[in-house]
Structure 1
């Protein structure tokens, strides 16, 4: 008995001893996985060796009976390293998900040893090399997602051996070759996503028609060519068909009308032709059809117009004919976009009566007749865009009651009559564009109710009467263009519009004086009051409008002297001609470059010959010619003497300094010489230095201050020449020498000295944004200042991307390349690596070094080595995050993450309060949050998801105005792999505002 008791006690002691608490075999394998990976966020910190099983570890799931590991989900853990092959030693593992990490290197063929896997997701990592063809040897695999990596080579033909695979997602890689015909053998396949690969201009295999269980087919931007095979009609279970942005030709096969389950068809951006097939009424579930940017002809089929559409988008094609009345039978029609076609005839008179029409865009067509009166029958219409057509008659009175309207664009039609009085004052309208019609009547006093109005554009009409005082209550108004009308009176309330950037009231019948108090127009960039009947003196306060770069007061009755304060302005255009001005010219403008700015003022004298009227008869003329001849000869002698002296002096300076000026090119009127610049380049005036040279602060004899960048040295090429600084110099000169914008730093002149090259800029007293954010002046950057900096920089980049021809990509946007003037207004600088889009798109750029700076480089650069406008937008998004957080783009605190990933992680885990810079006043939290959202939009992983800079500017402007961002968004209801292009679709209406930008923006 005692022996039995001793045995039981010993057994209990053994069971309770530490030796029995050893980790299971699955846990030991997972410990090997943990050791093989870098875990900067310590997400795997609870993977503890003292546990008996790993079933309670983060990301681990087990069978509740056997306690064997069945699932590993380490999504978005910031893990780095090679693929952990030890995971394949878990015999019961059926679910493996590692997306949104930094798993790198190639994927070993041994991955086929994961024999139990049913779900494998390695998306959004850094995997390279070919896709292992051994993956098809995993017998039970149902879901395979390798998207958004850097896989190269072809799609393995062995994938046709899958027998249970339902999802195959290889989108956004570097795959080439053709689509294997063997994929048509995977009868179980439901989703096939190969988009965003360059498949070497391969055709669409007809064998894909064998995939009768397929629900999603996403092959956008795959360089597909040839015709759409007729066999595609066999895909009767297909919900989403997206073949957009390829090189497909021919017509849409008639068999497509047999796809009874189809919900959306995306065929835009191809070279398809012919007519839309009849029989589309068979597609009873179709909600979205987009066949834009093709070459279709003919008319819209009547049976298509009877479908229960939610969104019909056939824009940018070559349809001809009239729009059928039967389209009004659509009870769910929400968006109708037909812009940029050759459609004609009237719009259906009942359009909008039986459906909640939200967006109507038929711009850039040949539509005629009257605007239907039922467009806002259901009170949902937000965007009404009918510009560049031949609509006639009056604007319907019913639109004045449409409280939901946000944008009204009716320019370039044949509309007449008065504008409905209530339309002037709709509370949510942000853009009212009525230009180039024959509209008449007054601007209604009800405009005071348009609290959200930011752009009022009514030029080239027959509007008359006084501009109402109530216009001064529009605190969000940014642009007022009312030129070429019959308006009278310039209301004093205009000076209340402190956010105004453009005021163009030229070619009207305005009389009176310029209102007192215009110094409030701190943001005014353009002031055009030409060809009116304004009188009095030109206010000296105009000289205090520091961002003004366009001033035209010509063709009026202004008198008195020209204010000397105008010399403070940095104008691209000045026109004071044809007035009654007297006195002398301001010294800065007393030169030949500004002659045309002052002609037609009989009492105005200066140093310009013929500017003043001649006095006397023939004798006076003879004396004038004699004097002119004498002075001409004297001038020749003087010039020869000066040239000789200058040559001698240059020789002397070359011997003294070792520098000989060979080229001197100016882009603005200069009041200093090359010699003066050279004399000031001393080491005690250096204010910055970089890899390519130094930057000097130069105080000139006239009191002006310049910043001089000295480019010296360079990198030796194969032939022994030194070339890099030459390329940087050339890029900077070619870029800045031809552009003018208030938010782009001004290049005054450049000098090529042989050994060194000099670039002379306007001096920015507050240095770069990066230095200020992280320097002693950081406390001066309150939120309103930071917001203005973001908006200024955005407008500068928008000018480069959208207004330059060809567009310019900066390629090195960062806070250190955003300079601040004395009032902390921002200018984009440093164009040493800038490129025209036309050059980059032609492949002329063979980059051997990274274009951009650490922390600002867009993620796609890792696998495309291609920098475009979307790369600039990503970098600008990082700048926004710097302004919001006050943090560096890279910081040891982030570990292996950068600022973008840190912000995203912190927002998810702790909230917005832990992201916003603690130095910012909490009363701006709402505005800061909105700007933060814009920054995150700009830093989206997929380039296509980033809004164009023109849209970014609009979003930033709407922050202060507390506007609701209303863009045309797709539902995204069909598949998590359907990448929405809200920025592209929502931006199409913006594109229509500028014809030259339309096609480029859609394909951006």
Structure 2
């Protein structure tokens, strides 16, 4: 106490008037890093701290009662020992900061007066302290969004007054303790999004008769929903989504008369929805039991409730939709897609409710579309894909100014499209594919200023395409194939500068192609096949740099093939069955393109059957010359291999015997081998990799265990291209031995490669690691074995690597920056679990230096280096985050970070450009199963966020882990959010019911 007093006196030379609580809070301030200076008024200008930011005092005693510092961007440990000395402090909130310690058992035990403790959304680690349960007045405890691990303590059942317990989004293991059922005062229990071991919903939770919120989303639960939950008569929100629950929905749940939200989506529930009892639940507003295996019919009693949202999609429901659902006065969302529902849609649907979104796609509905869907003038989305609906589109839909998406593909609709529907100002997607619509595209389409996807193929539309189409500045895709359009293409169509796809094949179009097509800078597909288009092929088509699909076959085109087409990189070229003449451009004058020019007898080239076939004799000379060159190259290669073999054999014979007595061994784990075993097996036959600083060997020990040994020789010169470090001027740099040992020797994490030991002499240094059977991610991903990496494995690798880097950035003291994150430094175990490796250039970050440190060299590898690093040489976590974003893009695309195909770009710029110009399908690795497309898009979005040019826009690694976890949860449910589009490209994919990337 005397020493503390001296410190306070030195700290406050003029603060004799500040009371003791002020001194304590000032020490709290000193314990934090406050980069935004939000605690600037915490000084000695007043007698008490009652006017300080975030501090509240009792009006009479002027004693501190509340400390609210949420979202202040504070860094540092939780100052429990100081705060618990404020005897009247009842309210503590550090929500959404960067508190990065563990919670001390001893320090927390003295906070007897605290009733509200909120430490959510921080960086806390370690176990949950048992002492928390002994705080006699604690009513509110929020530890969500941290990195707590271990089990939920059974002693938490001892809480005396606790009303809210939130542990959402941590790393908690074990199962949900039955003892939580003893906290009878509890009103909210939130345990969602934790990696618990498989377990059941504790039946004891039915004893929590005061409970209002039970949130157990994604808790790895299985088995049936216990009937005891029907005792929770005060329950308002019951959320058991994203688990493995099975069996029927308990009938007793319909006795929860206070329930407002019931969320059971993404489980394996089966059987019929309880038919009776729903009429008692007058407060029920939201029901989401989608993505289960429910059968039977939709209960009429359920539809008679004043629901706001009903989601029963992706089940096995049959029968008709009860007409009573149309009487729900608050219904704004109805999603019933992917069932086996039949009959007519309720006639008055939308008439009595503020309907926003309706999706009844992929059922067996018949009859006409309800006329009053937009009666309340707020309807935004109408999705009725793949049914047997017929009749015309109601004229009232054309007057619905709020519409944003209309998808009616694959039905039996007929008649003319209401003229006003073509020109609705907010519609971004109009999908009428595969119906029997007729008539023309109305000139009112000029008003569709937000239209980006116009898909009307496979109908009976006729007439000319109006000039007003050129007003659609945001149009990205226009498909009108298999109709009866006639006349010339409108000259205004070349004004569509954002157009990516134009498909009008199988129509009756005529006239010449319009001039000015060079403005289609983002066009990647042009298909005008099987029309009556005449004239020449415009030379300008050769300037469309992203065009990869060109089909002009089956027309009446004439003249020469423009030589400029050689500038294109086409996946498909079809000019067959026209009246073209002259020479075929040399690039295409090959047998592989023969089918591209059929039916053009005037074309000449070296393709068999064309008018200018060359004699075989003319080609004998060049062919034999090529064969001779190849033969000589083969001989030179064989001689080189033989010379190399002899040199290696001689090297083995004269290899210097290492004096083992001079080796220094440093172990970091209990070893089951001796260094002599390793040295005897450092043979060239065991080399599995090499780099600028040495070689890596696989060594199988006498006990059958394999280890990887990195052998470093002295100091190595930095090479210029693919080395781990890029140093200006070609100077010599340390081999990374000290950094590797200093880093891996002191950290332990399941996603960081384990360093067993190190051995060193004056000339040679050995690092002994755990052996990773599947090698590096980079080697596997960019090899012929990449097909082994199916999407679930790639997602797991990204998750593992992110957790490893998050540990380095947030859980190590001081934080560690890897500085060379890349796919070759992510190693894969036998189960494809990922480990971050190669810490030769890693650096600790000085926490007092605001997270940055200047370096004399640029560390990293080409294609992975953050753009700001090259000119600032500032080391911080944002550099690693950029590099990790590149790794994510590698996993999504299957491409290398740098490639000659990109030109002057790298992978990041290539992905951005390709997304913008060609769409998502040309970015995703074609080896990946399309059923994972939604999840892949979301993960790629994280990669793009991590590679943001501005470091401030990149999320922390801890946030990256959270986002990946959320995607993993959502991917199981296969949900697509209302605003879930990654890019504004749309496709005619009838299976999609959200925003279609």
Q: Is TM (by shorter chain) over 0.5?
A: yes
For residue 105 of structure 1, report the CA deviation from its aligned partner: 2.9
**Which residue in the other structure is 2:668 paired with?**
none
User: Are the equivalent residues in 2 in contact too, given 1:988–1:998 (CA < 8 A)?
Assistant: no
Structure 1 residue matching 2:109: 3-state secondary structure = helix
> In 2, are the aligned partners of 1:188 and 1:213 still within 8 Å (CA)?
yes
How many Å separate the matches in 1 of 2:200 and 2:413? Answer: 48
- Structure 1 position 633, deviation (Å): 8.3
Find 2:631's aligned residue among 639, 644, 649: 644
How far did residue 392 of structure 1 move? 1.5
Structure 1 residues 456-475: aligned runs within 5 Å: 456-475=454-473
2:66 to 68, 71, 89: 71
CA contact under 8 A between 2:546 and 2:917: conserved in structure 1?
no
From the superposition, tell whether residues 659 and 474 of structure 1 become closer, same or farther in structure 2 (CA, over 3 Å).
Answer: farther
Equivalent position of 1:93 in the other structure = 89
Give the corresponding residue for 2:945: 877
Post-superposition offset of 1:449? 2.2
SS of alignment partner, residue 984 of structure 1: coil
2:39 corresponding residue in structure 1: 44
Distance in 1 of aligned mates of 2:887 and 2:431: 24
Once the two structures are superposed, the pairs formed by residues 97-136 of structure 1 within 5 Å of their partners are 97-110=93-106, 111-136=108-133
Counterparts of 1:312 and 1:507 in 2: how far apart (Å)?
A: 42
Alignment CA distance shift 1:399-1:493 (3 Å): same
Trace 1:55-66 onto structure 2 (pairs within 5 A): 55-66=50-61
CA distance in 1, matches of 2:319, 2:916: 50
Task: String of CA shifts for 1:159-201, please: whole Å, max 9, x gaps.
Answer: 1111211100000001111111111111111111000012211
Map 1:948-963 to 2 at 5 A: none
Partner of residue 511, structure 1: 510
* 1:921 alignment counterpart: none
The equivalent residue for 1:607 is 606
Counterpart CA distance in 2 for 1:658 and 1:578 is 58
Higher RCO (Cα < 8 Å, 6 or more apart): 2
The aligned residue for residue 852 of structure 2 is none
Say if 2:787 and 2:927, in contact at 8 Å, map to a contact too: no
CA contact (8 A) 1:394 1:416 kept: yes
- Native 8 Å contact 1:269 1:294 kept in 2: yes
Trace 1:574-653 onto structure 2 (pairs within 5 A): 574-612=573-611, 640-650=627-637
- What residue in structure 2 maps to residue 679 of structure 1? none
| Corresponding residue number in structure 1 for 2:534 | 535
Rounded Cα–Cα distance in structure 2 between residues aligned with 1:457 and 1:27: 68
Q: For residues 796 and 826 of structure 1, what CA distance do their matches in structure 2 show?
A: 21
Shift in alpha-carbon separation, 1:636–1:901, aligned structure 2, 3 A: closer
Say if 2:977 and 2:994, in contact at 8 Å, map to a contact too: no
- 2:908 corresponds to: 818
Shift of 1:257: 0.7
The 5 Å alignment of 1:845-856 reads none
Number of aligned positions between the proteins: 775
| Greater mean alpha carbon deviation, residues 90-99 or residues 291-300 | 90-99
Find 2:478's aligned residue among 471, 477, 480: 480
1:206 maps to 203
* Superposed displacement of residue 244, structure 1: 0.7
CA shift in 2, pair 1:155/1:166, >3 Å: same
Counterpart position of 1:141:
138
Match of 2:77 in 1: 82
Encode CA deviations 1:312-354: one digit per residue, 9 max, x unaligned.
1111111111112222221222221111111111111121222
Structure 2: gaps spanning 5 or more residues: 1-11, 648-718, 729-764, 790-861, 872-884, 900-904, 919-923
User: In the superposition, relative to structure 1, how do residues 49 and 444 fare at CA in structure 2: closer, same or farther (>3 Å)?
Assistant: closer
- Quickly say closer, same or farther: Cα 1:33–1:809, change in 2 above 3 A: farther
Confirm or deny that 1:341 pairs with 2:339: yes
Structure 1 match to 2:245 = 248
Give the alignment's TM-score, normalised by structure 2: 0.70
Contact 2:431-2:988 at 8 Å conserved across structures: no
- Return the alpha-carbon distance in structure 2 between the equivalents of residues 613 and 394 of structure 1: 56
- Aligned position for 1:370: 368
Distance 1:81 1:822, change over 3 A: closer
How many angstroms does 1:447 deviate by? Answer: 1.7
Deviations 1:118-165 (A, max 9, x none): 000111111111101111100010000000111111111111111211
User: 1:575 Cα deviation (Å)?
Assistant: 1.5
CA distance in 2, matches of 1:566, 1:774: 40
Please say if 1:31 is aligned against 2:81: no
In the TM superposition, 1:318-717 aligns within 5 A as 318-489=316-487, 490-612=489-611, 640-650=627-637, 691=724
8 A contact 2:605–2:612 mirrored in 1: no
What is the distance in 2 between the residues matched to 1:472 and 1:948?
43
SS in 2 for 1:241: strand
Measure, in 1, the Cα distance between the counterparts of 2:352 and 2:627.
Answer: 83
Residues 87 and 733 (structure 1), Cα distance of their counterparts in 2 relative to 1, 3 Å cut: same
Indicate yes or no: 2:227 matched with 1:230: yes
Determine the C-alpha separation between the residues in 2 that align with 1:145 and 1:203.
24
> Which consecutive unaligned segments of at least 5 residues does structure 1 have?
1-16, 615-623, 661-685, 696-714, 740-766, 777-793, 829-833, 843-866, 890-897, 903-937, 951-979
CA–CA separation in structure 2 for the residues paired with 1:56 and 1:453: 55
**How many angstroms apart in 2 are the aligned matches of 1:42 and 1:1001?**
42
Task: Rate the CA distance shift 1:718–1:510 in 2: closer, same or farther, 3 A.
Answer: farther
Distance, in Å, in 1 between the alignment partners of 2:991 and 2:549 is 23
Q: Secondary structure at the match of 2:334?
A: strand
Matching of residue 189 in structure 1 with residue 196 in structure 2: no
Contact map agreement 1:731 1:835 (CA 8 A) in 2: no
Distance 1:69 1:244 in 2: 42
CA distance in 1, matches of 2:154, 2:331: 43
In structure 2, the partner of 1:846 is none
Q: Once the two structures are superposed, what CA deviation does each residue of 1:356-401 show, in whole Å capped at 9, x if it has no partner?
A: 2221110111111111112122222211110111111222222222
Q: Does the CA-based 8 Å contact 1:427-1:450 persist in structure 2?
A: yes
Per the TM alignment, residue 114 of structure 1 is displaced from its structure 2 partner at its CA by 0.6
**CA distance in 1 between partners of 2:393 and 2:34 (Å):** 64
CA contact 2:558–2:581 (8 Å) conserved in 1: yes
- Matched residue SS, 1:113: coil
CA distance in 2 between partners of 1:347 and 1:722 (Å): 58
Paired residues of 2:33 and 2:74 also in contact (CA < 8 A) = yes
Q: CA deviation at 1:654?
A: 7.3
- Structure 2 residue aligned with 1:749: none
| TM-aligned CA deviation for residue 42 of structure 1 | 2.9
Deviation track 1:535-561 (CA, whole Å, cap 9, x = no partner) reads: 111100001111212111112111111
TM-score, length-scaled by structure 1: 0.69
Deviation per CA, 1:867-923: give whole Å up to 9, x if none.
Answer: 98655433423545x4xxxx445xxxxxxxx86589xxxxxxxxxxxxxxxxxxxxx
Residues 522-546 of structure 1 deviation map (CA, whole Å, 9 limit, x = unaligned) = 1211111111111111100001111
Q: How far apart, in 2, do the equivalents of 1:996 and 1:810 lie?
A: 34
Quote how far apart the aligned CAs of 1:116 are: 0.7
SS at match of 1:510: strand
Paired with 2:591 and 2:93, the residues of 1 have a C-alpha distance of: 71
CA distance in 1, matches of 2:601, 2:154: 85
| CA–CA separation in structure 2 for the residues paired with 1:285 and 1:299 | 22
Q: How far apart in 2 are the matches of 1:500 and 1:988?
A: 18
Equivalent-residue separation in structure 1 for 2:154 and 2:333 (angstroms): 42
Report if aligned partners of 2:146, 2:170 keep a CA contact under 8 Å in 1.
yes
> 2: distance between equivalents of 1:1000 and 1:386?
12
Residues in 2 aligned to 1:877 and 1:899: alpha-carbon distance in whole angstroms: 6
Distance 2:927 2:183 in 1: 42
Q: Is the 8 A contact 1:716 1:722 kept in 2?
A: no
